[in-house]
Structure 1
Amino acid sequence: MAGGRPPARRLRLGLACTGWIADWAVHQPIRDGSPADVVFVASRDPGRAREYARRWSVPASGGWWELLERRDVDAVYVATPNADHARLALDAVLAGKHVLCEKPLGRDPHAVAELAAEAHRRHVLVREAYHYRAHPAPAGVLAVLRAGVLGTIRRIDVRYGWWLDRTDDVRLSPSLDGGALMDVGCYGLDLVGQLTRGLPEITGTRTLTGPTGVDLTCEVRLRSGPVRARVWAGLRAARPVCEARVTGTKGGLRLRSPFLPVMPGAVAIPLFGASWSSPVEVTAPRAAPFTSYKYQLDAFARDVAAGAWGAEEGIVGRAHLLGRVRERMTGER
């Protein structure tokens, strides 16, 4: 597809991914009715790509450059290890493909700025896959928070962690940009960014580094105008935790599982919930029948079909903040 040419009514996707996340982010949403089809899967290992294509009934498979040359691919879903995200996304944009890239897109603001500029120039869409924002329930809560239901926000506390027990997991590799910050801490930083203006100041970090050199746990303290924020992330959490607390001059809010509102299949994770302590009456979050990943893919396919293009607002700032936090963490070890 040449840059800017509208795709077919159903979005034709190529996968730069042969891991489990594609089931949650792509295959399950399509089974649930998202207007897309997977037409190609790419891997550095041709045998792995062929096996994946056979298992998921994908019509064709091959290498990354083969994917980019396909005229029947409108968009690429990138879910490789973190270190490759920005580079592969730029390759896809230069080939005229729209991009849905797993978070985080990157921590090098210069690389992400180049990607954003090329997406604008070539009239293709680039979206960073913070799936929770697409789900009606957390999206509704974010909207009323921005509208000032809690008055002036003073405090944001986020905790997101779990126990990673696979010693060969890519999230334990420094060269692949592993670690707690890049895996789950980026969600907390994104939430802070959704509720504050501009890039926050980093006032402190605390890190537990594992034997491979990645951060197994990290805590980031931030300040943005009147807001003080703390983001804790862990790959060594004694028990799974995913919660956020927002305190303002008119009340408070506790979010349960804000980044895991719904999960596919039989995965037993608590559903999203919001508990308010505010004199203002707040409408309860809307129940929704599908996963956050389906709403994300629906929105991406809809925007591509409508001719939306360019990189979404804020991606360069998020990369800048991630990079600064990583530098601060490294310096304080």
Structure 2
Amino acid sequence: MTHDHGTPPVRVGVLGAASIAWRRVLPAMTACPDVEVVAVASRDPRRARRFADRFGCAAVTGYEALLERADVEAVYVPLPAALHRRWAARALEAGRHVLVEKPMATTAPEARELTALAERRGLVLRENFMFLHHPRHQAVSELLRDGRIGRLRMLHASFCVPPLSPDDIRYTRELGGGALLDTGVYPLRTAVRFLGRGLRVTGATLRVRPGDGLDVSGQVLLAADSGVLASLDFGFEHGYGARYTLWGDRARLTADQAVSPPAELPTQLLIEEQDRVEQLLLPPADQFKACVAEFAAAVRGAGASRGTGRAAWHADAVATLELVDAVRERAVRVPCEDGGPEIA
């Protein structure tokens, strides 16, 4: 299949029959004219067949078998976090471009290894941090540059979700489980997005389960060389919430539903001054489709990712995991007990 403009779609194989692939990413890929999903691989043939039947592609048993297919030129990796580095590296070594679920790896050294491998092979490596592709974050950057809230002094970002099913893989340490690598990387990446790299962790607390010590929520304090401070909250033992607020010396700017706003609805930015509140409405946008389209453009050489833009994406991924490593090292760990505190 070739488009009217003569550029064939990027032929993608999927390593893993994950929920995020089923619910979000593969629907976006099949709706994108620049992408063709050719195969889905799973260790369970029945799961692979279920995906193949829905998305009109081949079912493959086993991950290596997918990498051996000649019709796969790019790979999407929605496996558990602890498997990201291994299978992203295998795909790059096999000469395939890679879109890997966030985080790219579980440590900064692993991320450096992957980005260096992609650079050596001349291949596109991208994290599926889909929220970064929503246009309202660019609108926020423009408001900051225009001085709409004055000089930036502080950022607060949070992403919390309700308790997961007890058998959810995010409760399994060996698979890269824990709130820090699941929900925590979103506010960390938000801080990198707006405050830049080189942030310092000045304090951190993790609530951990008795027994295995798995982190289920946490708070982090950051400082930039500019003097701007950040406070971050995350976890999966809360009511749902995802937002960030940028405080300036004139006003504060808040973006609600910051991680996954409904694609069909307008989004808003709220600017609050001492005696005035302004609501900015932005057009609807599908960040999953935007992420997929940007990846395809990068593979075809139409995006900035084949030049200096690629280095920036890699550097931001590494910077985020450097913060993860620093949180692990510095965090005070507080055991959590079922039921929470008693209320007088």
TM-score normalized with structure 1 length:
0.87
Distance in 1 of aligned mates of 2:300 and 2:204: 42
Structure 1 partner of 2:300? 305
Structure 1 residue matching 2:331: 3-state secondary structure: helix
CA offsets per residue over residues 242-281 of structure 1, 9 Å max, x none? 11111012321111111112258xxxxx864210125999
**Corresponding residue for 2:323?**
321
Which protein is bigger by CA-based radius of gyration? 2
- Find the aligned partners of 2:289 and 2:205 in 1 and give their Cα distance: 35
Provide the C-alpha distance between the structure 2 equivalents of 1:197 and 1:281, rounded to a whole number of angstroms: 28
Residues 1:151 and 2:146 are matched in the alignment: no
Indicate the residue corresponding to 1:220 in structure 2: 220
Q: Answer whether contact 1:252 1:276 (CA < 8 A) is retained.
A: yes
User: Does residue 295 in structure 1 map to residue 294 in structure 2?
Assistant: no
Q: Which structure is richer in relative contact order (CA contacts within 8 A, separation 6 or more)?
A: 1
Q: Deviations over 1:150-176 (max 9, x none)?
A: 333111111211112400001111111
- Does the C-alpha gap of structure 1 residues 147 and 210 become closer, same or farther in structure 2, counting only changes over 3 Å? farther
**Local SS of the residue matching 2:282:** coil
Contact 1:262 1:292 in 2 (8 A): no
Contact 1:140 1:285 in 2 (8 A): no
Which of 277, 291, 294 is residue 272 of structure 2 equivalent to?
277
- Count residues in correspondence: 320
SS of structure 2 residue aligned to 1:163: coil
Partner of 2:117: 118
Q: Which amino acid aligns with 1:314?
A: D
Paired position in structure 1 for 2:251: 251
1:155 counterpart letter in structure 2: M
Distance 2:23 2:144 in 1: 28
- CA displacement at 1:90 relative to structure 2: 1.2
TM-superposed deviation, 1:47: 3.9
Indicate how the Cα distance of structure 1 residues 284 and 9 shifts in structure 2: closer, same or farther if over 3 A, else same.
Answer: farther
1:99 and 2:95 equivalent? no
**What is the 5 A alignment of 1:127-142?**
127-142=126-141
- How many Å separate the matches in 1 of 2:121 and 2:28? 28
Deviation at 1:183, TM superposition (A): 1.1
Task: For residues 272-310 of structure 1, give each alpha carbon's deviation from its aligned partner in whole angstroms, at most 9, with x where no partner exists.
Answer: 42101259999935312x421011101111121126445
Q: Deviations along 1:97-126, whole A, 9 cap, x unmatched?
A: 111111111232222111111111111101
CA distance in 2: counterparts of 1:242 and 1:94, whole angstroms: 36
Could you tell me which runs of 5 or more consecutive residues in structure 1 were left unpaired when the two chains were aligned. 1-6, 265-269
The corresponding residue for 1:3 is none
Deviations 1:302-322 (A, max 9, x none): 121126445624222222111
**Any conservation in 1 of the 2:267–2:283 contact (CA below 8 Å)?**
no
